[in-house]
Amino acid sequence: MGTTWHAQFAAPRDCDAAAIHRAIHRAIVSRLAGIVAAMSHWAPTSLLSRFNLAAAGTWTALPTDFARVMVRALAVAETTGGAFDPAIGRLVDAWGFGPIPVEGLPSKPQIEAAMARSGWRHLALSTSTTSTSTTSTSTTSRSATGTHLLQPGGIALDLSGIAKGYAVDAVAALLEAAGFVHHLVEIGGELVGAGMRPDGDPWWVDLETPTGTILPPLRLALHGMAVATSGDYRRGAHTLDPRTGRAIDTGIVSASVIHRTAMDADAWATALTVLGPVAGLELAREHGLAARLVTLVDGDTCEYLSPRLAAMLSD
């Protein structure tokens, strides 16, 4: 995923801390490696990369992790009118934000060509037993029970706006299954917390202040909650509007969402960044999202809190 991970958890008193550390570290590394092997758009051997190269009409059987992410990704894509879109791999590559290096900005014809091979509406997700799909180019049978994803031809997935959040949830679930119900997990700035710290405090986290802005600190107690932040202030302008195929021009430098799961927080934060402060806040209000949007326009910083987040902070 090109980033770092951290996990803190409260272990029983008088335990063998070193042995627990080694065992949990190995388990987390293995868990994350499995997620990368399934959904990385950087690893050429990942299942996602193989799907992106699959022939038109091919149905790909998805493992549980991949299937869960795709179900939520398509749901958020539909709800946001495509402001979040898991099928923009061709656009990401055209702009040079993916694993394929490019020289300079894409031309209008290049953007239009990438747009023609992008979009979540081209995808078909099916949970089935035995069925047959016929297209103009091929016929592919599915005989295994499970979730399958259809490659309509030339579509490339990019799950970077949701898979990292899912990975945070997965590590948190691993810790809980191991009996460590009090924990805080962070991957690349996306966090989820559960239970309490050993000193009795909640897991306090501060929302990062984007570079170039002056804002009062916003501290959250992550007790059974997750938070994800999307923005261009760390890696420069890299957020694309899937609906236009171009870089966003909304003034938003940071969008944070507090949610029950990091996967949902991650996807919603990406969508709000694309939508901008007006449409983004309206969507947050409509769906009861706890969100903070930060804009930086001509050196002026503005902070917008959704009604849900404002209510949480006033409690």
pLDDT of residue 133: 40
Question: What mean pLDDT do residues 189-194 have?
Answer: 96
Give 46-54 contacts, CB < 8 A, sequence gap 24+: 48/157, 48/159, 51/149, 51/151, 51/157, 52/89, 52/155, 52/156, 52/157, 54/151
In the chain, which ranges are E strands? 5-9, 58-62, 124-128, 131-134, 139-142, 146-151, 183-187, 190-194, 204-206, 219-221, 225-230, 240-241, 246-247, 252-259, 290-297, 300-305
**In this predicted model, which residue has the larger pLDDT, 293 or 250?**
293
- 6-39: pLDDT as tens digits: 999 999 888 899 999 999 999 999 999 999 999 9
With 80 as the cut, is the pLDDT of residue 119 above it? Answer: yes
Q: What is the pLDDT of residues 182-191, one digit of tens each?
A: 999 999 999 9
Lowest mean pLDDT among 94-98, 158-162, 256-260: 94-98
Q: Tell which residue, 123, 150, 148, has the closest CA to residue 138.
A: 150
Instruction: Give tens-digit pLDDT for 223-257.
Output: 999 999 997 655 545 789 999 999 988 889 899 99
Q: What is the residue extent of each domain of the chain?
A: 52-151, 190-314
Q: Output 311 or 132, whichever has higher pLDDT.
A: 311
In percent, the amount of the chain with pLDDT more than 70 equals 92
Alpha carbon distance, N-terminus to C-terminus of the chain: 36
pTM for the structure as a whole: 0.91
Q: Which amino acid is at 181?
A: V
Eight-class DSSP state of 175: H
CA nearest neighbour of 268 among 235, 308, 210: 308
Specify the range with the lowest mean pLDDT, choosing from 3-12, 203-212, 216-225.
Answer: 203-212
Which class is 190-314 in CATH?
alpha beta
Residues near 223 by beta carbon (within 8 Å), at least 6 away in sequence: 193, 194, 195, 196, 202, 203
Residue 219 neighbours by CB under 8 Å, 6+ apart: 204, 205, 206, 207
Could you tell me which CATH number the domain at 52-151 has? Answer: 1.10.3980.10
